[in-house]
Amino acid sequence: MKIINIKIEKQYITRRITMKKQKILKISAYTSGAVTILMSLVYIFFNFISPSLLSFSFTKEEKAAIGIIGGADGPTAIFLTSKASGGLSLGALIIIFAIITAVLFLLSKYKKTNN
């Protein structure tokens, strides 16, 4: 009788550990998804929305002056930024987090169907 009780307790503990792992996997998938969405929104804002908002605040003459200065400094800026950029861009990080999120969601669904 005692052996049966030990086996039942072991199964119960194993099932609880599996449920905790599933819960952690689910939480990490949702957290990774939220981070991916947040990073995407920041990327969209800084690359698409903020430049259009800033362009409305300048007059025609100021825009022309910025264009002339930018045209003269453009090749130098491109050369310097290509040499100085050693890290990952925000776009690359978004893709990495999206892949991680997809894998975590697939793992959580796979674990659910196997139990």
pLDDT digit string (tens) for 2-40? 666 666 677 777 777 788 888 888 888 888 888 888 988
Residue type, 58: F
State if pTM tops 0.85.
Answer: no
Domain count, the chain: 1
Give, for 34, the enclosing helix (H) or strand (E).
helix 2-44
d(CA 37, CA 97): 9
By the 8 A CB rule, do 94 and 40 touch? yes
User: Which range marks the domain in which residue 92 is found?
Assistant: 2-114
Q: Decide which of 108 and 31 is more confident.
A: 31
